[in-house]
Structure 1
């Protein structure tokens, strides 16, 4: 596909100017003129990697060669098609994930962004994030991505211990990671996120906290803490099953998480989501869309999306999954304009369950106004106000239900999965018996 270079450069230049003007502010706080049904985030999946990490079961492939021009053309085509099918008029953020999207060329990133800007409103100050692996992103390449329109980086650092990095199958060293982080911060000040894993086999609390404190000496304003999940089919899962490695200790992992979040709070970070911490207002607006159950379009092999197709009258939200394997996905895109393999209409209760489970992941929780956008009749008070179980959780200090809405306390965020085992059945029961009060909170 031939990239309309001058137009793409003008959009990228406008985006960089907007980034310099933009003041740090909380995610979701800037108003949008477009109705909710016409706004969305866009996720773009680059499915290729240099090597498969030992713990990873994502949809990724290790190719002998990549026909990038064909992949670029199909990404552009599918983005255009899904934007048209969804009726989305404003894309508020774009996230290039994978795989290893930093292996793609900046030209591919620019082509997708320009196609989106031509098809809909892509404001110049929209958050455009690129996932980066340290070994695939020297400073000159990061600068080229910035020129293409990227204004935020998410670096898969994972560990600052070389032995742990080898265990995970990562291709970089701790020194590689810190060098890439320094270059990224120079090019994207205040707009760099890093991932740190916890709960690895044989990992101990003290050394891991030492890594976290070392990272605080080098990091920017956003950190994500992720607990290792042993996924069936991965090398790490097999090694643990065969006793070649000790199984991760869940109690040690829980202690790491609790100690880590305390260290980050002391360093001025706000835990705005179960796994995500930010200071100076550097929240991820793209991920905030997920947690607020906003619409998002998934483009690329295996990408997931949630939106209301116009053909359904704009009322039925669908969960969509694109075809997994890249070659088959490209054939379908060239034939049909998109590679959607699975479409699942979401019922009203299913959507409310998502609103509850995703919203409670954040420190804001679910406001009454937000809940009413999805369920105008049955209020949060109707669902949870008279519940004995919820009353106990409130008295124990895990949950708050008040004039603002429903949310977890600091202590509650750490045990959200356990809380949802109580709250989801409460919602299901209230839905079956729904007799909404005429007055909210009555």
Structure 2
């Protein structure tokens, strides 16, 4: 379907036919390319919102007016520049996040996707996700985003209780949320995800510094979350979802019928990703500029300043942080163990061909205790958490990271002065 004024990209039609494909395979998810690969995911940040939700700490702004044409041009320019700098030849997924990207025009989404398709290979079955809030996503608008190239929706329901929604500062009701969800499932069958908060103050919500809820709890206006109740709610939620046929493929992500997010899988497998837009983050090797080391990149936060930099330099990168070998391995370990697949031997060897997972975690006392308790598994497949271990990963990670750091230091001793 093509709507007036919105040009559907050629690859979108094929993507629709392939949208129900099952995702992989013997490792339980899409395969991540090697660290210096010419493959990457692309994240596009739309920084504007209608209002500030009390729990949100993301980079967002409530504008008096948005020059969307200027923002569109800058998003396109930065995408083209970073694709060239990275040397990326294939974009596996595109994720429009925010902020509230469903406030953007479908024309903006189509323009970014067209620019990506012209600059590199964007396969017909690439996952293209848009975050949407119920108040900004009526049926006709959702259909227009589909015509622009979106084939997956991530809807910010957060709660289906009107009292909780008011506390969270949301602009929609539970009824609005259910109506939007029904329309999304009709338009994007099998390609819809929702965000739900497990609890609130006096339950489980993680309070982020700088948010209204954080301030209210600190000032005593609201009770602090109860850690024990939080753990109980989390375990109950996992059990309910498993009974309903959902696979917990990551600590806080669940999917049914193989419909896991390929974009998020790239993050957890430490694949390359480019961050486009104000405040966006990226991780890639700037091969197109002759670089050989992976960099963490952070774009300028404030939209007007970011646009000025993009117009001057082609991109608004504010910080470039080269990642050392140990830092990269720490990310591989911490991110990979968040998934039910964990870290396979083959995947680890792409980043560290000398120290194997068995070398690192097969003999250490602390890791052995976790293995004996059944919280951690190390076998022919690799290293991963058990069902029970996923729930307490945060408490295990310091031990595992410390063991990795010690092994790394033993392998690479410090130079002796005066040698």
TM-score (norm 1): 0.89
Output the CA distance in 2 between the equivalents of 1:292 and 1:234.
30
User: 2:312 is paired with a residue of what secondary structure?
Assistant: helix
Give the 3 Å change call, closer, same or farther, for CA 178–11 of structure 1 in structure 2.
Answer: same
Q: Does 1:408 align with 2:406?
A: no
User: 2:183 is paired with a residue of what secondary structure?
Assistant: helix
Structure 2, gaps ≥5 residues long:
413-419
Matches within 5 A, 1:20-59: 22-26=20-24, 29=29, 37-59=37-59
2:11–2:123 CA contact under 8 A, matched in 1:
no
Output the CA distance in 2 between the equivalents of 1:85 and 1:394.
43
> Which digits, 9 at most, give the CA deviation of each residue in 1:109-133, with x for residues without a partner?
0000000000000001100000000
User: 1:141 is paired with a residue of what secondary structure?
Assistant: helix
Output the CA distance in 1 between the equivalents of 2:275 and 2:202.
37
1:11–1:114 CA contact under 8 A, matched in 2:
no
2:32–2:269 CA contact under 8 A, matched in 1:
no
Q: 2:415 is matched with which residue?
A: none
2:297–2:317 CA contact under 8 A, matched in 1:
yes
User: 2:245 is paired with a residue of what secondary structure?
Assistant: coil
**Which residue among 222, 227, 231 is the counterpart of 2:208?**
231
Matches within 5 A, 1:374-389: 374-389=351-366
Q: Does 1:12 align with 2:20?
A: no
> Which digits, 9 at most, give the CA deviation of each residue in 1:316-336, with x for residues without a partner?
000000000000000000000
1:102–1:133 CA contact under 8 A, matched in 2:
yes
**Which residue among 234, 241, 245 is the counterpart of 1:264?**
241
1:39–1:91 CA contact under 8 A, matched in 2:
yes
Give the 3 Å change call, closer, same or farther, for CA 417–288 of structure 1 in structure 2.
Answer: same
TM-score (norm 2): 0.93
Q: 2:96 is matched with which residue?
A: 96
Q: 1:290 is matched with which residue?
A: 267
Deviation at 1:365, TM superposition (A): 0.3
Deviation at 1:249, TM superposition (A): 0.9
Deviation at 1:406, TM superposition (A): 0.5
Aligned residues: 406
Deviation at 1:312, TM superposition (A): 6.4
Q: 1:399 is matched with which residue?
A: 376
Q: 1:319 is matched with which residue?
A: 296
Deviation at 1:86, TM superposition (A): 0.1
Output the CA distance in 1 between the equivalents of 2:24 and 2:254.
12
Deviation at 1:244, TM superposition (A): 1.0
Matches within 5 A, 1:12-411: 12-19=12-19, 22-26=20-24, 29=29, 37-203=37-203, 228-310=205-287, 313-411=290-388
1:7–1:114 CA contact under 8 A, matched in 2:
no
Deviation at 1:25, TM superposition (A): 2.5
1:13–1:147 CA contact under 8 A, matched in 2:
no
User: 2:348 is paired with a residue of what secondary structure?
Assistant: helix
